[in-house]
């Protein structure tokens, strides 16, 4: 019986599940609440000298107040491309360009838009839960294969599956907590 291998498989599953939760967290940060945040635009891809480039690599961000985000390109020639990328995004905000910086004024969210965003966030949370469950299933298959080849006893398999179930439950709970926090943030007027 190879305990180290079993622990390695379980630890790998734990790490991948934690990464799935982190992914959900980063997806949530890109969903607009009512406040300006660099997380809303830093992942946008900009056509910069013919190369798709993340906005955070070619511009700096400042938030002078809760409803305004200022994007300052490091290279002024990228201003038009940045403006075009923002207009093409699903933010629904029209950038204002003064020749040196781009200002994004975030209007207060309407009740209807808040409810739409809650649906989007719930969908992203469900995707995260599904990813975690898929990781659990893949790990289970790996463990069952180890049992079939004889490197894991049935009792040990049961113990490890219970541990795996506990880890899965913890990670799904973490996604649910992120979801409830984000919903509260979205519905706050």
pLDDT in tens, 63-105: 888 788 899 999 888 888 888 888 887 777 888 888 889 998 8
Domain 3-29+110-187 is in which class? mainly alpha
Tokens 């599956």 belong to residue: 161
pLDDT at 28: 85
pLDDT band at 2; cut points 50, 70, 90: low
| Residue 44, CA atoms < 13 Å, CB-side half-sphere | 25
Domain 38-105 is in which class? alpha beta
pLDDT band at 1; cut points 50, 70, 90: very low
Q: Are 71 and 58 in contact (CB under 8 A)?
A: no
What is each CA distance from 139 to 20, 129, 132, 168, 171, in whole angstroms?
A: 15, 15, 11, 11, 15
Rounded to whole angstroms, the Cα distance separating 6 from 160 reads: 8
Rg (CA), the chain: 22
Element containing residue 96 per DSSP (H, E): strand 96-97
| Domains of the chain, residue spans | 3-29+110-187, 38-105
- CA-based nearest residue to 74, from 61, 63, 84: 61
Element containing residue 57 per DSSP (H, E): helix 55-58
């Amino acid at each position: 019986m190879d305990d180290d291998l079993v622990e390695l498989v379980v630890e790998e599953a734990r790490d991948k599940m934690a990464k799935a939760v982190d992914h959900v967290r980063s997806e949530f940060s890109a969903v607009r609440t009512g406040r300006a945040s660099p997380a809303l635009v830093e992942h946008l891809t900009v056509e910069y000298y013919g190369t798709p480039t993340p906005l955070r690599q070619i511009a700096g961000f400042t938030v002078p107040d809760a409803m305004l985000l200022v994007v300052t390109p490091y290279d002024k020639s990228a201003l038009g491309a940045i403006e075009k990328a923002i207009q093409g995004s699903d933010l629904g905000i029209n950038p204002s360009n003064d020749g040196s910086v781009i200002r994004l004024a975030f209007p207060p969210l309407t009740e209807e838009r808040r409810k739409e965003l809650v649906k989007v966030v719930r969908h992203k949370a469900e995707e995260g839960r599904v990813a975690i469950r898929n990781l659990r299933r893949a790990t289970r298959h790996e463990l069952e294969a180890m049992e079939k080849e004889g490197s894991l006893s049935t009792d040990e398999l049961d113990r490890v599956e219970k541990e795996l179930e506990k880890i899965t439950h913890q990670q799904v709970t973490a996604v649910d907590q992120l979801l409830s926090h984000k919903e509260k943030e979205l519905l706050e007027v």
